[in-house]
Amino acid sequence: MTQPHSSLIYILNGPNLNLLGNREPDIYGTVTLEDIEKSATLHAGKSGFGVDFRQSNHEGALVDWIQEAGEKAAGLIINAGALTHTSVALRDALAPLGIPVVEVHLSNIFARESFRHLSHISPAATGIISGFGANSYILGLDAITATVS
Ligand code: DQA
Regarding the beta carbon of 83 and ligand 1, being less than 6 Å apart is answered: no
Q: What is the pLDDT of residues 35-80, one digit of tens each?
A: 999 999 999 999 999 999 999 999 999 999 999 999 999 999 999 9
The torsion defined by the Cα of 112, 86, 34 and 20, in degrees rounded to 10, comes to -40
Question: CA-CA distances (angstroms) from residue 73 to 18, 21, 24, 112, 128?
Answer: 23, 28, 32, 32, 19
**CA of 4 relative to ligand 1 center, distance in Å:** 29
Q: Which amino acid, 40?
A: A
CB 12 within 8 A of CB 69: yes
Q: What angle do CA 86, 90, 93 make, to 5 degrees?
A: 155
Q: Give the pLDDT score at 5.
A: 64
**CA of 5 relative to ligand 1 center, distance in Å:** 30
List the residue whose alpha carbon is closest to atom 7 of ligand 1.
81
Q: Give the pLDDT score at 120.
A: 98
Global pTM value: 0.95
Q: Give the pLDDT score at 149.
A: 76
Q: Tell me the domains of the chain and their CATH numbers.
A: 8-148 (3.40.50.9100)
Average pLDDT score over residue span 5-22: 94
Q: Please report which confidence band the pLDDT of residue 2 belongs to, taking 50, 70 and 90 as the band edges.
A: very low
Pocket test residue of 27, 84, 104, 112 for ligand 1, highest count of atoms within 8 A of CB:
84
Pocket test residue of 18, 20, 36, 106 for ligand 1, highest count of atoms within 8 A of CB:
106
Q: Give the pLDDT score at 3.
A: 44
Q: What is the pLDDT of residues 92-144, one digit of tens each?
A: 999 999 999 999 999 999 999 999 999 999 999 999 999 999 999 999 999 99
Residues 6+ apart with CB under 8 A from 134: 29, 31, 35, 36, 39, 106
